[in-house]
Amino acid sequence: MKDMRRLSDNEIADQLRSAREELFDAKFKLATRQLKNFRSLPQSRRKIARLLSVMRERASESETNG
């Protein structure tokens, strides 16, 4: 989480996009029975949630500051 807070808004958006792609790929592999590491699904979901949390924190900070 600390590392994510250090990123810029553009970097967070890029990481969010890549995490969503990873989740999509994992779901596709799961459906086609090619997924070997089932832990990748919850890990991707958590990463997405953390990135969205950082984005929301920044949005609420900007609303309160000005």
Rg (CA), the chain: 14
CA distance 46 to 66: 30
pLDDT tens sequence across 10-59:
999 999 999 999 999 999 999 999 999 999 999 999 999 999 999 999 99
* Secondary structure element (H or E) that encloses residue 31, with its range: helix 9-31
Domains of the chain (ranges; CATH) run: 2-65 (1.10.287)
CA distance 6 to 13: 13
What pLDDT, on the 0 to 100 scale, is given for residue 64? 87
Assess whether pLDDT exceeds 90 at residue 2.
no
pLDDT band at 4 (very low <50, low <70, confident <90, very high): confident
CA distance 1 to 25: 24
Identify which of 60, 58, 53 has the alpha carbon closest to the alpha carbon of residue 1.
53
